[in-house]
Structure 1
């Protein structure tokens, strides 16, 4: 059954640059009765966040010998047993994969070690590019992931941010379920009145889901975008608990708008924060920018501890291409300016319980700078959201992780803002409801998910 959650977007009010008054917003309350206990009976497919940890850095020899990955070469990266990932019981991992200093235009493919390399890409990049992509990868032989580079040579950095249980052997650990929301822009520093966050600034935000649900929220899923950075640098998003981790979430070049899908752990507001800016118990998190850059934050989902009746589990797949407009796979030809194309998921990839496709979506050589947006198809009254999934420049080949919600007919829409562009989409897994659901209908929009009042504010530190 298609179940939609909504949240009210926030336009931040201006605040004194010296004030530590982070942004808050209220999220839609759960509109159905909550289960009495949050513990999962079976954790297969459940999500487990970890503090961001570096698994590979070819510049320094972490995870592999020092040296760029050459053309047609791969690194078999040990993942299980490192960075908070258990040695067994893991089905797939969520990685942030960064490319730096490539000598030629190329692409990386991350795939299960021991399997044949698929016709798919995880990160696409130009010569000299700096950037990252959130990549979910099924674990292969020995708990490893293969990272392949097609052309030239490049340094690669890989940080792990979470994993999905492959079976029920991790039942002694508290896993969570993913719930999607209608994409909504919550924070945009271009509109908060304090100007572009300078280098080294930390933004702090909170979402209030209500006293009954706040304690159950463990991670938030965003599309984070760095806009007009003054110099090349990075964003790091983390719970805010403890020191900022030595990992990056979004890597950007000077002057480039760069998005990345981000799973961000949260920590509860204590009620003792300066200015009492957030509700005690409400989840909060931080975003650090290494260089002056605007930051856009679009919510796409929540991971809780299993409390919500709308939570889903993850089933990993070997990367499977479902769209390549260059060959008329999934979409016939390039998408024109203002064009919308509907993509129907292949029947072999979905069941009646499937709700979301975890994908890597790539824009291929758009003729203009543009914006790509996806949303579920065939829901009456659900139009294109005011958010973005990719922000490619003319002539670029650029990718981003997308959690693509499918509508009642197992399809999603893709909109291209400007010029024309080819599109490629590779599915790496699906999210599904772990209990039987009713047949998919367009009338399964959740009743009672009223948009709550928002409490706008901003943080500059």
Structure 2
């Protein structure tokens, strides 16, 4: 398995700054008859679509969610998500205008409130987090807010099949992790001399993954916005059609704001074509800012070996350094911890946990990085998962690949910080 992952880690990025005309969507390849397809746990990307916006009364009352308030959001049957056969969805959750320090938790409707959080934020915060959440009663997700009042926006980007009900759609995608590596960094971009991306600009990128290039239906990326000159947002999507009414990263001026993103691709087109036929995607930014893109994996077209399927879980806390769960005590500057999740979640490199990682009140501006433990050829990645500022409690989604003994590393760069990790599902290799 390490050999396969090593091959997937090779690649470079091609960049174009002009708008491109996308080719028609390619037919989904299939090696078996539709009757023989088992789509359980496979992923289906959709065009980013807004499901809920409490500022406008979309999918919820037109009002901020109050203290200990809940909203039951209908997901199944909306935004490209089928009415049945869906086990979980991938959404981007944006918090805007909160009146108090708080957190929001998304969990299956009809289930008890878990000891877990999806987005942690301070009063007045503007930001987003990628959340994978299991569907509950009648295909709904419950949104809970702990303190104060806040507006909540939810955009859907994809869903997972609960069983074989969706086999008529053809084979869904399976996940392939690879070593985190940088795809694009505007600070070192030779095409612009390291200048910031302009407000209202479109960045067209392609990701080259060895011989697997044509097989990526979606890419799993970390998109970081650095030192924006005004409040704004970034949207990443396939590039087909206009910019969706959805966002990927929301940010305040002068901040460093990352977010995990599942980005649907489009077929190779125009100047972005490579000999391997790598698919492309587009990033739009509303404010002048630096943009950094790191790659963590891809969702295939169902034809590749070793792809992992997804199993949704009720949110479960596996690390809280404040209480000694998983590992005890705040992480100091340069501190790296090795953590073993509960054995029931997996004990080897076949497992990738879908987690939400929260940095709690760091004493300095810092970087938090998570990666698999005990691989002799796997040093500390260049890419980061969280970039919290001093005193900031902030969350970020992490696809947490385990090492050969079922463990992972977590590292804090500067100051000291407490960490909390919640699991919402896992990828497994059947």
Cα drift, residue 217 of structure 1 = 1.5
Q: 2:48 pairs with 43, 49, 52, which one?
A: 52
5 Å-filtered alignment, 1:120-199, equals: 120-174=116-170, 175-193=172-190, 194=192, 195-199=195-199
| Residue 98 of structure 2: aligned partner | 102
Alignment partner of 1:315 is 2:315: no
What is the CA-CA distance between 1:186 and the residue it aligns to?
A: 1.2
Change (3 A) 1:134 1:236: same
Distance 1:20 1:132 in 2: 27
TM-score by length of 2: 0.92
User: How many Å apart are 1:209 and its aligned residue?
Assistant: 3.9
Aligned 1:290-439 pairs, distance under 5 A: 290-350=286-346, 354-434=350-430
- Match of 2:247? 248
Note if contact 1:38-1:307 (Cα within 8 Å) is conserved in structure 2.
Answer: no
How far apart are the structure 2 equivalents of 1:196 and 1:49? 30
Aligned to 1:7: 9
Q: Which runs of 5+ in 1 are unaligned?
A: 23-33, 435-461
The alpha-carbon distance between structure 1 residues 119 and 135, as it changes in their structure 2 partners (threshold 3 A), is same
- 2:201 matched to which residue of 1? 201
Q: Which structure 2 segments of 5+ residues have no match?
A: 21-28
Structure 1 336/38 Cα, relative in aligned 2: closer, same or farther at 3 Å?
farther
- Per-residue CA deviation, residues 100-138 of structure 1 (Å, 9 max, x unaligned), is 000001000000000000000000000000000000000
Match status 1:221 vs 2:220: yes
d(CA) in 2 for partners of 1:148 and 1:424? 18
Seen in structure 2, the aligned counterparts of structure 1 residues 241 and 55 have a Cα distance that, compared at 3 Å, is same
Alignment check: 8 A CA contact 2:87 2:159 kept: yes
Deviation at 1:343, TM superposition (A): 1.0
How far 1:278 sits from its partner (Å)?
2.5
- What is the CA distance between 1:348 and its match in structure 2? 1.8
Residue 37 of structure 1 deviates from its aligned partner by 5.4
Distance 1:12 1:285, change over 3 A: closer
Pairwise CA distance, 1:279: 2.3
CA contact (8 A) 1:355 1:433 kept: yes
Counterparts in 2 of 1:166 and 1:387: CA distance versus 1, 3 Å: same
CA contact (8 A) 1:12 1:192 kept: no
Q: Distance in 1 between matches of 2:272 and 2:246?
A: 27
Separation in 1 of the partners of 2:11 and 2:333?
A: 26
Q: Residues 55 and 11 from structure 1, CA distance in 2 versus in 1: closer, same or farther, beyond 3 angstroms? A: closer
Matches within 5 A, 1:256-275: 256-270=255-269, 273=270
The offset of 1:352, in angstroms, is 5.6
Q: Secondary structure at the match of 2:214?
A: helix
Contact persistence 1:35–1:309 (CA under 8 A): no
**What is the TM-score with the length of structure 1 in the denominator?**
0.86
Does 2:280 align with 1:278? no
Cα RMSD after superposing both structures: 2.0
Judging changes above 3 Å, is the alpha-carbon distance between structure 1 residues 267 and 38 closer, same or farther for their aligned structure 2 residues?
Answer: farther
Distance 1:398 1:427, change over 3 A: same
- Contact 2:349/2:404, CA 8 A, preserved across alignment: no
- Contact conserved, 2:218 with 2:265, CA < 8 A, in 1? yes
The equivalent residue for 1:454 is none
Cα deviation for residue 390 of structure 1 reads 0.2
CA pair 140-348 structure 1, distance change in 2 beyond 3 A: same
